[in-house]
Structures are given as structure tokens and as C-alpha cells.
Amino acid sequence: MTAKQKTFYSLKNMPGLNKVIKILILSDVALLTGLGFVTPVFAIFLTDNIEGGTVEVAGFAAAIYWIINSLTMIPIGRHLDKRLGEKDDLWFVILGNFLAVLSVIGYIYSNLPWHIYLCQGIYGLGMAMNIPAYTAIFSRHIERGKEAFPWGVRGALTGIGSSIAGALGGIIAYNFGFSNLFIGVIIFLILSSLLPFLISKQMLPRTGIIPKIQEVKSIESPLPK
């Protein structure tokens, strides 16, 4: 049994995790694992591959991500709250992850600091779209009385994925180059963008009425093998 099969099997047999929660967790594991390959070596990538790339550039790149992320997250959250149903939330998760894909593709073709800044701005906007939408869907589909366990599972699995990716990121970059590392990251991020499509039928309608969790569970099918 492969590591991926073990992950699906263990999630499938955990009590308190319905299909929506399982798919969202797997999507975030793919997203954060992919990004985890880049984080430990990003500053080295800048200094070795970007003309004029310095530690200062790395600092400005991080600042641009957080500025764009912080300035756009609240308006996006307010917009999503005004929209009834969860289809919009799901699309924001998907599009946010695809923007992360675009930012990593941008790294491959970047050779000047402003290229990196642009990529970081796109990445920040993508995560500002993902986070409010993701947490809204996740929170609505948690079973009452078991709110902490699903978040704990998500935190544990994303932490494991990020730690493994962090350990391997430097090895892959050193032996195969940053371009190949980024291609691997892109594969993970595309997977994180596609997984939410599996729960599109479980999204709540535009009625403005949120059914009880028992009603949500009744329309779910088993997690595909």
C-alpha cells in the first residue's frame, strides 16, 4: 500500500469526518505540501537565480505577499458572506489555488526582483481567496460536538506533509535544479485545485437556509477509492 493509499484509507475510517471535510483536508494537504517544498529554499533561489537577488529582496517578497493577502482577505470574506449558498465559496477555493499555481509558474520564468514581487502579489491574492472560503465551508460541514477533531486532523496532516516537503525541497533543488522542483510543486497545487470539484454536489444551495449537519450527511456518497 502506497503512502497516498494509506492517507486515503486512514481518512476514510476516521469517525466524524464526512466527505466534504475529507476532500477539503486532502486539498489542503496537497496545497501546503507543495508550497512546503519551496519555503525552506526560497531565499536561496532568489540569491542564486534572480539578478540582484538578495536577502532584502526575500524580505520584500514576503512583505508583498502579506500586504496583498491582508488587504484583500477581509473584502473577500465580506463578499462571500453576502452570497447565499456555497458554490461561490468552492469556486474561490479552486481559483485561489490556481492563482498559487500561476505564481509558482512565474517563479520559473523570473529573473528580476519585480517578477518575484508580482508572483508574490498573485500568490497573496490567491490565498486571500482560499482561506475565508475554505474555512467557511469546512466550518459549516463539521458535525456538531466534533468541531475540534476535524481541525486537528487537518493541522496534523498538513504539518506532516509540510515537514516532509521541507526536508526534501533542498535535496531536490540541489540535485535536480529549481525548475524541476517548481514543476513538482505545480503538480501538487494543481491536485489541490482539482480535488474540490469532487464535493461540488455537496455544496449548500442558494436558499439562504443552512440544513442541519444530519441533512448534509444524508446526501453524501462514500469517499472514492
The pLDDT tens digits for 151-204 are 999 999 999 999 999 989 989 998 999 999 999 999 999 999 999 999 999 887
Which whole-number Å values give the CA distances from 69 to 15, 65, 75, 120, in the listed order?
A: 34, 6, 11, 10
Topology (CATH) of 29-218: Growth Hormone; Chain: A; (1.20.1250)
For residue 145, what pLDDT is reported?
A: 77
Determine contact, residues 84/93, Cβ cutoff 8 Å. Answer: no
CA–CA distance, 57 with 202 (Å, rounded to integer): 43
For residue 84, what pLDDT is reported?
A: 78
Which whole-number Å values give the CA distances from 106 to 119, 120, 222, in the listed order?
A: 6, 9, 38
Res. 2: pLDDT tops 80: no
CA–CA distance, 53 with 115 (Å, rounded to integer): 11
Confidence of residue 207 (pLDDT cuts 50, 70, 90): low
- Residue ranges per structural domain of the chain: 29-218
Confidence of residue 16 (pLDDT cuts 50, 70, 90): low
> Which residues have C-beta within 8 Å of that of residue 175, sequence separation ≥ 6?
none
When mean pLDDT is compared across 7-16, 82-91, 117-126, the lowest value belongs to 7-16
CA–CA distance, 84 with 170 (Å, rounded to integer): 44
